[in-house]
A and B are shown apart, each in its own frame.
Chain A
Amino acid sequence: MNRRRIRHSRAIQPQALQHPIMALHAEIQAHRGARRSFTCALAGLAIAVTSWFNPVSAQERRLDTAFGPVAVKTAERVVTLDEGALDTALAVGMKPVGSVAVRGGKDLPTYLQDAGKGVKIVGTTREPNLEAILAQRPDVILASPGLEKRVYDILSKIAPTVVPSVATTAPWQDRNALYVAALGKEAEYQKRVEEVEARIEALRARAQAGQTFTIVRWMPQGPMAMSSQLMAGRILTALGLQSTDIAAELGDRPHSDILSLENLGKVDADWLLIATLNEQGQATLDAARKQPAFTRLKAAQSDHAVTVDGQVWSSATGVLAANRVVDDIERLILK
């Protein structure tokens, strides 16, 4: 058992060989024969000493998930059942072997399609196809927060399943932390996050601090204000712009109820960003312009009402999506 463990550890964590006793041990292992029994004893001693210094084995990660502690041994074959998880995995260079088709019938989200070429589809967010997931023989499954226990029970029989317990309005950098820990790529993730934050810093000079903004979904009956705690809102706030009260006071809710057209003043701001799910949001903007209540808005009159990609702006949380948001801001606001 000890021998197997050492061989295993050698395959996964080469830096374990740096340890002098472990290196000696590996050499001895290379010559089999009558020395086996002696080797076993030495191995046992080595393991005992090593575990004294490293209480948790380096390749097995214990994570605190929403359903209790989960041990993840390896993360070579990853299946993602969540858009944020997919984004995070692609961002740290670990292309998953399978992902659900998020926000679209049969495909990955548009902004991830290039990076995600070759990823097999294993169902949709609403109905993950358990057999397709099994067929990929995953080592770890990254699922959405809010996953039901009954689905979790079956998934964890297939592979260790990681379900974070975060609110929708948690800071976007933290929301995917558990996925990163499961993949063991904290360093790369931190680098990517710092890249985005550096971009934001660089752009801060060009932004007019103090300008107000609201991100909305425009419905005919009235707009829904998206919370300023979502990723896009936080990025804009980091750039120095200020959210309107209605978006900032939503607490845990991701968006407000439908605001009456009589109260449009509450979403009126210097910048009104209309999140549409259309490919070209222009149609929504044109239709909204036909509503007399819309044309009275300060933002509409000063031509500061712009459409943005709803997929990325209203619900994405990953680093690649953050980059897209910054791109959009650069293009639309900081001209």
Chain B
Amino acid sequence: MPRHTKRMPLRRTAIACAALVGILMFASMLWGAGSLTVLQSLQALLGRGSEEAIFIVHELRGPRTVLAVLVGLALGASGTIMQSATRNPLAEPGLLGVSAGASFAVVLAIYFGADSVGLHFSIAILGSLAGCFLVLMTTQLRGAGADPVRLVLAGAAFSSILIAVTTLILLHDQRTADEIRFWVIGALGGRPTSNLVWAAPGILGGLVLVAITTPALAALSLGEKVALGLGHRPAFTRLLAMTGVAILVGTATAAAGPIAFAGLIVPYFARRLVGPDVRRALPIAMVLGPSVVLLSDILSRLAVRPYELPIGVVTACIGAPVLIAVVRSHRLPRL
């Protein structure tokens, strides 16, 4: 093990990160774009206070906080697994064709008459899953599933096809273009609570799938031949891991729109804290992800009161400088 990589003990780190999530969840309930003071929000949280305050804290901020945690969980986990499975620290879950698939499905729906307000959750998730599975299938065609670089390349090519067809549709239909430019920047607010009900099983299922493949992925990081020698099946493991990633990211994108960057930077932090072993990085990423998303959400509410910034912008604005700082100051943690 390289000497310069400081690894922190897993349990303590996990507890610290979980505490951070707790604090941020609490903050998310107390602060918002409205004109409630912190004291009023606190009272409303406890069930006292004006009717409007109770409505805001319980019906608006509450579901939003829960959604942020779920989405953060999904993005953090999927990013870590994706980067581990493709052996490429540049891999982002969006590369699998998920965001492109979701956008494509939403654009199709709006084109055929739906409205972005009434869009059903299932449309976006079908799109993202379909996109990802198509990518995976094309790579399976020639046994290319064995080569992670080609998987990412295939994902990139497929995404660009979908984006191109989406652009074609937007060219034809002004109305769709006008509606989609707001969906594409992502938002956590205003999502119906039914989204939470739909999203939770999806995310849990994806997490289970991903957790199953983690030991095999850890073996894979020793090299394909070693993994084979230890009795694992690399191609199958990768396929399973990618499916899990697809489900996770598809659900997150369907629930909150495309949130850029979270899936890219959370694994970096996780690996920085506890080392490159995916069995250690995954739990930390699962706890760090919600922190990142919650922090971005709180900032998006406070930055331009009484309006709100789209969360995709905030994650990019926070994530990019942080990523650059991480990359500059230390040796990149290797996979």
Q: Does a CB–CB distance below 8 Å link A and B in the complex?
A: yes
B contact patch SS: loop
Task: Point out residues on A near B: beta carbons under 8 Å.
Answer: 102-106, 124, 126, 218-222, 256-263, 266, 276-279, 283-284, 286-288, 290-293, 296
Hey, which chain A residues are within 8 Å of B192, CB to CB? 290-291
Contact of B34 among A256, A260, A279, A291 (CB under 8 A): A260
Which listed segment binds A: B166-174, B286-294, B319-327? Answer: B166-174
Tell me if B60 is interfacial: C-beta within 8 Å of chain A: yes
Whole-angstrom distance between the Cβ of B273 and the nearest chain A Cβ: 33
Nearest-CB residue, chain A, relative to B56: A262
* Listed stretches B14-22, B150-158, B182-190, B276-284; interface member: B182-190
The 6 closest A-B pairs by CB, nearest first: A262-B34, A287-B118, A105-B172, A260-B33, A257-B307, A221-B187
Contact with A along B116-149 (1 / 0, CB 8 A): 1111000000000000000000000000000000
The residue of chain B having its C-beta at the shortest distance from the C-beta of A290 within the complex is B192
Contact B117 A284 (CB under 8 A): yes
Q: In whole angstroms, how far apart are the Cα atoms of A218 and B116 in the complex?
A: 9
Q: List 9 A-B contacts (CB under 8 A).
A: A105-B173, A105-B174, A219-B182, A260-B308, A277-B174, A278-B115, A287-B115, A293-B59, A293-B190
B317 to chain A, nearest CB (A): 16
Of the candidates A263, A284, A290, the one having the most CB atoms from chain B within 10 angstroms of its own CB is A263
Contact (Cβ within 8 A) A262 B33: yes
Rounded to whole angstroms, the CA-CA distance of A104 and B305 in the bound complex is 35
Q: B309 contacts which chain A residues (CB < 8 A)?
A: 257
Interface bin, chain B: 35 or more
Query: Complex formed: what's the CA distance from A290 to B193 in Å?
Result: 10
Instruction: Judge whether B238 is part of the interface by a CB distance below 8 angstroms.
Output: no
Q: Any chain A CB within 8 A of the CB of B306?
A: yes
How many inter-chain contacts with C-beta < 8 Å in the A-B complex?
Answer: 102
Q: Is there contact, CB below 8 Å, between A286 and B308? A: no
Specify the chain A residue showing the minimal Cβ separation from B306. Answer: A263
Q: CA separation between A292 and B35, bound complex, in Å? A: 19
| Distance, CA A105 to CA B170, complexed state (A) | 9
Known: A105-B171, A259-B306, A292-B55. 16 other contacts (CB 8 A): A102-B174, A104-B174, A220-B116, A220-B119, A220-B191, A258-B187, A258-B307, A260-B33, A260-B301, A261-B60, A266-B306, A278-B113, A278-B175, A284-B118, A292-B59, A293-B190
Could you tell me if B118 and A283 are in contact, using CB atoms closer than 8 angstroms? yes
Across the two chains, which residue of chain B brings its CB closest to A126? B171
Q: Is the CB of B190 within 8 A of A261?
A: yes
| B304 adjacent to chain A (CB < 8 Å) | yes
Question: In the complex, which residues of chain B have a beta carbon less than 8 angstroms from the beta carbon of A290?
Answer: 118, 192
Candidate in B113, B308, B310 with the most chain A CB atoms within 10 angstroms: B308
B32 is an interface residue with CB less than 8 A from chain A: yes
Q: Which residues of A contact B119 (CB under 8 A)?
A: 220
Query: A287-B117, A290-B192 given as contacts; is B306 within 8 A of A260 (CB)?
Result: yes
- A293 to B34 CA separation, bound complex (whole angstroms): 13
A59, chain B: closest CB distance, angstroms: 37
CB pair A288–B304 under 8 Å, yes or no, is: no
- In the docked arrangement, what's the CA distance between A278 and B116, Å? 11
Q: Which residues of B contact A103 (CB under 8 A)?
A: 174-175
Shortest Cβ distance from residue A126 to the other chain B in the assembled complex, whole angstroms:
7
Query: How far is it, in angstroms, between the C-alpha of A124 and the C-alpha of B167 when the chains are bound?
Result: 14
Measured CA separation A58–B219 after assembly (Å): 87
Known contacts A256-B307, A260-B34; decide if A219 and B173 are in contact (CB<8 Å).
Answer: no
B224 on interface, CB distance cutoff 8 Å: no
The answer to whether A258 touches B308 (Cβ under 8 A) is: yes
Give complex CA distance A104, B173 in Å.
5
User: How distant is the Cα of A191 from the Cα of B190 in the complex, in angstroms?
Assistant: 47
